[in-house]
Structure formats: structure tokens, C-alpha cells
Amino acid sequence: MRSRSRRSSGQNDALVLSLLKAADRPVSAYDIVDLASRSGTRLVANQVYRTIARLIGQRMVKRIETLNAYVSAGTGADLCLVCSRCRGVDLVEAPALIRSLRQSIMDARFDHAGGLVEVSGLCADCRPPGVGEPESESAQNAGFVRGSTH
């Protein structure tokens, strides 16, 4: 039996996009099903996948392969920093990197499927204090002494 739902694909697009925008973390397709039902709309996973595919085609949504999840992304960001602890992501623009990457991909005669370049690691909130901060390099070289007030 066909669903009696009369929601148009445009309504589904708007709903899914608003749920992604409201989330402060990447969300999976099943998270979206869950969030939609909590907001009073019944969506099945297939509808969510179709909707997401449309939104990715319109460059409104990006898929984070590392997390198997999605974020709303109206920007031209191509580089995605993924925190392996809190699953937070930071989308950044890296035009020089992308130009160089495209050239390498073309040189390899590879058919690029698109998508983000993803880098895993720890975000500023999750990494131990002092790690990864450029100004702390000399402190690290000196051992654990850092931030002394003397």
C-alpha cells in the first residue's frame, strides 16, 4: 500500500534542512527520522535518504563519510576537520589544497565522486591543554613547563 502522506518533496527538503541546521553536530539519517518524529512528522529512512541526496545535489548538505552523517553546509568549504572524540566537525575553506588535489586527481585519470576532504583528530575542546597550539611549541620542547606566571 502506498503511503497516504501528502507531503511534497519540497516540504521534506525544508524539514530535513531545518533539522540539520538546528543540530549542532552531524546527524545520521536515522537521527533525522528520530528528530522529525519528535517534531511531529513521520519520515521513513528511504524518504530521508532521497531528501538528503537532493539536498547534496543542491550543495545544501554535505556528507561526512568518517561519521556516516550529514551537516547543512551553505558554504564553499571543502575541508572537514572531524573530532574523533566528540564527533564535532569544522568545515573550512582550503582553496589552494583543493586546486592541488583536483590536479592530482586529474593526473591520475581518476573519476572523482565529489565530497569533502576529511581529516580526523581532536578538536580544541577535546585535545589535552597545550597540544597543537603553535605558541606552545617551545614549551613542549622544554617539557611540561608551560603557562608559568613567574
Residue ranges binding Zn ion (CB under 5 A): 83, 85-86, 88, 123, 126
Q: What is the DSSP letter of 60?
A: S
The CB-of-123 to Zn ion minimum distance in angstroms stands at: 3
Q: Cβ 77 to Zn ion, closest distance in Å?
A: 18
> Smallest distance, Å, CB 82 to Zn ion?
9
Pick between residue 33 and residue 88 the one whose CB is nearest to Zn ion.
Answer: 88
d(CA 37, CA 47): 13
Beta carbon nearer to Zn ion, 86 or 105 = 86
- Range 101-139 burial, b when 16+ CB lie within 10 A, else e: eeeeeeeeeeeeeeebeeeeebbeeeeeeeeeeeeeeee
Decide whether 56 or 118 has the Cβ nearer to Zn ion: 118
